[in-house]
Chain A
Amino acid sequence: DAGVTQSPTHLIKTRGQHVTLRCSPISGHKSVSWYQQVLGQGPQFIFQYYEKEERGRGNFPDRFSARQFPNYSSELNVNALLLGDSALYLCASSLGLLEAFFGQGTRLTVV
């Protein structure tokens, strides 16, 4: 079975630009969550979507937004990129709201 897939795997952006990260959950999973992991730290919660509705939002600025599509895939958008947005962005899917399985992440570098 395919796990959680994220794209792209790596990308480099310039300060002030916009970025869109994509996630496809495990087949049958209806919940998708996004996390930011800065080097050397644990992941920080950004958003959770369940059945296409936002269920939770972490302590991130409004430059961060997300949505979930009818097929349960999801996009994370970040506007006006800052150097501090450089991180590994992780997507997790779960059946319901419990055990979360993570993708390999998207490594974003802002220069």
Chain B
Amino acid sequence: EDQVTQSPEALRLQEGESSSLNCSYTVSGLRGLFWYRQDPGKGPEFLFTLYSAGEEKEKERLKATLTKKESFLHITAPKPEDSATYLCAVQDEDKLTFGGGTRVLVKP
């Protein structure tokens, strides 16, 4: 059975304090690894898809990387508007399996 574990569960950062979120996964046949951002009471917002080990993608202050067993979401010089829950998911066949998410709070 596919498993996705995200750490830490929560992260408090000062504005400008860079950090990384971890997503460890076990999947029989990885078709893609996805990162989403979710604001309270809203649906997840698509950020990145990574397909193979060594792949990297960037968007503004966010950078996602992928290895054979884990993915990292690096947040560089975060701003308060980066506060959200970040979800990682793996796709195996027809479904996405999500981790529990990392709640990020960026204080000014």
CA–CA, A33 to B100, complex, Å? 19
Query: Please, which residues of chain A bring their CB within 8 A of the CB of B95?
Result: 33, 45, 48, 56, 58
Q: B76 at the A/B interface (Cβ < 8 Å)?
A: no
Q: A100 at the A/B interface (Cβ < 8 Å)?
A: yes
CA–CA, A4 to B98, complex, Å? 20
Q: A70 at the A/B interface (Cβ < 8 Å)?
A: no
The answer to whether A104 and B43 touch across the interface, beta carbons within 8 angstroms, is yes
Cross-interface CB contact of A55 among B6, B42, B94, cutoff 8 Å: B94
CA–CA, A103 to B42, complex, Å? 8
Query: Quick one: which of B25-71 are within 8 Å of A by CB?
Result: 31-32, 34, 36, 41-46, 49
Q: B77 at the A/B interface (Cβ < 8 Å)?
A: no
Q: A108 at the A/B interface (Cβ < 8 Å)?
A: no
Query: Please, which residues of chain A bring their CB within 8 A of the CB of B97?
Result: 45
The answer to whether B98 and A103 touch across the interface, beta carbons within 8 angstroms, is no
The answer to whether B101 and A42 touch across the interface, beta carbons within 8 angstroms, is yes
Q: Main secondary structure on chain B at its contact with chain A?
A: strand
Query: Please, which residues of chain A bring their CB within 8 A of the CB of B87?
Result: 42-43
Nearest to B44 among chain A residues (CB) is A102
Nearest to A46 among chain B residues (CB) is B95
Query: Quick one: which of A68-111 are within 8 Å of B by CB?
Result: 88, 90, 92, 97-105, 107
Query: Quick one: which of A32-79 are within 8 Å of B by CB?
Result: 33, 35, 40-45, 48, 50, 55-56, 58
The answer to whether B100 and A41 touch across the interface, beta carbons within 8 angstroms, is yes
Q: A99-B46, A105-B43 are in contact. Are A42 and B98 (CB under 8 A)?
A: yes
- Taking A42-B89, A58-B95 as known contacts, 10 extra A-B pairs with beta carbons closer than 8 A to each other, sorted by chain A number, are A4-B43, A41-B100, A41-B101, A45-B97, A56-B94, A97-B94, A98-B49, A100-B96, A101-B46, A107-B41
A interface, CB within 8 angstroms of B: 4, 6, 33, 35, 40-45, 48, 50, 55-56, 58, 88, 90, 92, 97-105, 107
